[in-house]
Structure 1
Amino acid sequence: MNIAIVTPIYPGPNVPSGFTPVVHYFAKEWMKMGHNIKVISLPSTFPSLYYKVSNRFIGLIESINGHSINNTPPRQDVYNWEGVSVSQYPMLKYLPHMRYHNKVVNSTIDKILNRLEEADFTPDVIVGHWENPTIEVITRLKTILNVPCSVVFHSDGSNFKQIYGTKAKEMLLNLDLIGFRSTANRHKFEINFGAFSNTFLCYSGVPKELLKSSNYDRSFDSINSFIFVGSLIRRKFPYENLIALLGSNIREFEYKVIGSGFESNKIKQLIQKQPVLKHNVKLYGRIPREKVAEELARSDVFIMISKSEVFGLVYLEAMSKGCITIASKGEAFDGIIIDGVNGFLCAPGNVAELTTILNRIVSMSKQRLIEISKNAITTATKFTDENVALDYLEHIKSITNPSKR
Structure 2
Amino acid sequence: MLLHQYAKCWAEEHDITVIRPHSYNLLTANKLRKKKLKACFEIDGINVFNVPVLRLPGDNLQIKKFRKIISELGKFDFILGSLPVGIEITHYVSSTLGIPYFTYLHNTDFHRSGLSKGRLTSRYKMFLMKADGIGYISTKLQKAFERTIMESSKGILLPGAISPSWLTEPPKRSFKSPMKLVAPARLVKQKNIDLILKAFSKLLSLDYQLTIAGDGEQREFLEHLVASDLNLKAKVSFIGMVDHEVLKKLFDQSDFMILMSTNESFGLVYLEAMARGCIPIGTRGEGIDGVIQHGENGFLCDPDPESISQQLSEISKLPSASLLKVSTNASETAKNFVYDKLAKFFIDFAKTKLRHP
Q: Normalization by structure 2: what TM-score?
A: 0.85
Tell me by how many angstroms 1:251 deviates.
Answer: 4.2
Tell me by how many angstroms 1:271 deviates.
Answer: 4.0
Distance 2:179 2:52 in 1: 47
Tell me by how many angstroms 1:391 deviates.
Answer: 0.8
Question: Does the 8 Å CA contact 2:53/2:62 hold for their aligned counterparts?
Answer: no
Distance 1:197 1:390 in 2: 21
Counterpart of 1:59 in structure 2 is none
TM alignment of 1:148-227, pairs within 5 A: 148-155=100-107, 157=110, 159-160=114-115, 162-214=118-170, 216-227=171-182
Matched length:
347
SS at match of 1:150: strand
Counterpart of 2:76 in structure 1 is 123
Tell me by how many angstroms 1:325 deviates.
Answer: 0.7
Question: Does the 8 Å CA contact 2:177/2:208 hold for their aligned counterparts?
Answer: no
Distance 2:304 2:158 in 1: 28
Tell me by how many angstroms 1:357 deviates.
Answer: 0.8
TM alignment of 1:365-376, pairs within 5 A: 365-376=319-330
Counterpart of 2:76 in structure 1: which amino acid?
Answer: P
Distance 2:15 2:285 in 1: 37
Distance 1:217 1:111 in 2: 55
Give the one of 42, 67, 92 matched to 1:80.
Answer: 42
Distance change (3 Å), C-alpha of 1:201 and 1:353: same
List gaps (5 residues or longer) in structure 2: none
Tell me by how many angstroms 1:355 deviates.
Answer: 1.1
Counterpart of 1:202 in structure 2: which amino acid?
Answer: L
Counterpart of 1:262 in structure 2 is 217
Are 1:378 and 2:322 an aligned pair? no
Question: Does the 8 Å CA contact 2:201/2:232 hold for their aligned counterparts?
Answer: no
SS at match of 2:352: helix
Distance 1:292 1:91 in 2: 41
TM alignment of 1:335-354, pairs within 5 A: 335-347=290-302, 349-354=303-308
Distance 1:134 1:202 in 2: 17
Counterpart of 2:18 in structure 1 is 39
Counterpart of 1:361 in structure 2: which amino acid?
Answer: I
Distance 1:239 1:90 in 2: 44
Tell me by how many angstroms 1:203 deviates.
Answer: 2.2
Counterpart of 1:396 in structure 2: which amino acid?
Answer: A
Distance 2:105 2:150 in 1: 15
Are 1:28 and 2:28 an aligned pair? no
Counterpart of 1:80 in structure 2: which amino acid?
Answer: E
Q: Normalization by structure 1: what TM-score?
A: 0.76
List gaps (5 residues or longer) in structure 1: 1-20, 52-72, 93-99
Distance change (3 Å), C-alpha of 1:42 and 1:313: farther
Counterpart of 1:147 in structure 2 is 99
Tell me by how many angstroms 1:278 deviates.
Answer: 4.3
Counterpart of 1:310 in structure 2 is 265
Tell me by how many angstroms 1:41 deviates.
Answer: 3.1
Tell me by how many angstroms 1:359 deviates.
Answer: 0.8
TM alignment of 1:1-12, pairs within 5 A: none
Distance 1:356 1:203 in 2: 30
Question: Does the 8 Å CA contact 2:136/2:155 hold for their aligned counterparts?
Answer: yes
Give the one of 321, 325, 350 matched to 1:396.
Answer: 350
Tell me by how many angstroms 1:86 deviates.
Answer: 2.2
Distance change (3 Å), C-alpha of 1:125 and 1:354: same
Distance 2:71 2:312 in 1: 54
Identity %: 27
Tell me by how many angstroms 1:146 deviates.
Answer: 2.6
Distance change (3 Å), C-alpha of 1:242 and 1:275: closer
Q: What is the CA RMSD across the aligned residues, in angstroms?
A: 3.1
Counterpart of 2:198 in structure 1 is 243
